[in-house]
Amino acid sequence: MSTPMIRRQRRAAGLFLGPYLVLAFLVTLAPLGYAAWLSLFSEQSSGLGFGGAEQVFVGLGNYVRAVGDSTFRSGFVTVAAYMCLYVPVLIVISLLLALLLDSGLAWARRAMQVALFLPHAVPGLIAALIWLYLYTPGLSPVIGWLGGLGANGGLANTAPLASVVNIAVWQWLGYNVVIFYAALQAVPREVIEAAAVDGAKTWQVAVRIKAPLIRSAVRMAALFTAIGGVQLFTEPKILDLTSASITSTWTPNMFLQSAAFDRNDFGLAAAASILVAVLAGGSSFFVMRLGQKGES
């Protein structure tokens, strides 16, 4: 290939990638860099408090404070428990529904896809408010039905983790079903027909042939779900309005929001946000490595 053509291809690639790179810098890299810089400073009062406040360089002091805060550490325990429940439930149910739709056994597949995807079209804040109504005693028509199960105090009080998982699964189930269903459409029909000729049953074809062939899509969905799980904020923040079991520091994101806007400790909040970002990156790497080991 000639040098002028290579240059034209590079210019074309740069033209298409340019807007994305600019946006990625403005909304991701620049705020992350500013948070890293802000985490190295702390606002301290001068003198007896009559001289105002000043920014003082504290190095890694804010990180030490964040790690040493028991409420911040307990937030990671909550997120870990949330992910251990949320990720498997969401992936398994999404995969089962996608396999059901692809098998042709489901009635009105197009309508089912739209119905499953509709909750994802609802903004997270609106979804949390809807479920807040459904979880609140005296307002919800569901709580009365579940009174015999010990939910008279509200589901957000009696089972806060399960309540948050329920909201997240309800909202993201259809999104993952669409991803898995699209991947299933790419499975060669010849393989499925050959399995049917060999006498494989429908469930055997689904579990032993289709599911392994869309492993990459499942791994990608699990990766995105894990990243989203680390950033848990909206659902518990809304439920905090009525739930005594969910506090303002229930998750790491809620902790840093409280540190920044309730206590005006922006250095601590910035350091906590960097730690959360590192955890999200580590979770992504772990899920990718786990998927690669499964393929080897």
Which tops the pLDDT comparison, 171 or 284? 171
Q: Write down the pLDDT at residue 204.
A: 81
Of the listed ranges 35-39, 61-65, 225-229, 283-287, the one predicted with least confidence: 283-287
Q: Are 78 and 246 in contact (CB under 8 A)?
A: no
Q: Residue 127's pLDDT is what?
A: 81
Considering the segment(s) 63-295 as one domain, its CATH architecture is: Orthogonal Bundle (1.10)
Sorted by where each begins, the domain ranges of the chain are 63-295
- What number is the average pLDDT over the span 22-43? 89
Name the region of 59 (left: φ>0; alpha: ψ -120 to 50; beta: rest).
left
Dump pLDDT digits (tens) for 55-73: 888 888 899 999 999 999 9
> How much is the average pLDDT of 13-38?
88
Among the listed residues 136, 156, 148, 146, the one whose alpha carbon sits nearest the alpha carbon of residue 245: 156
pLDDT-based confidence at 193, cuts 50/70/90? confident
Q: How confident is the model at residue 225 (pLDDT cuts 50, 70, 90)?
A: confident
Cα atoms in the Cβ-side hemisphere of radius 13 Å centred on 73? 7
- Which pLDDT belongs to residue 255? 92
Q: What percent of the chain has pLDDT over 70?
A: 85
| Tens-digit pLDDT profile for residues 131-158 | 878 877 777 666 666 555 555 556 667 7
- State the Cα torsion 135-139-142-147 to the nearest 10°: 90
pLDDT digits (tens, 9 = 90+) for 235-276: 888 888 777 788 888 999 999 889 988 888 899 999 999 998
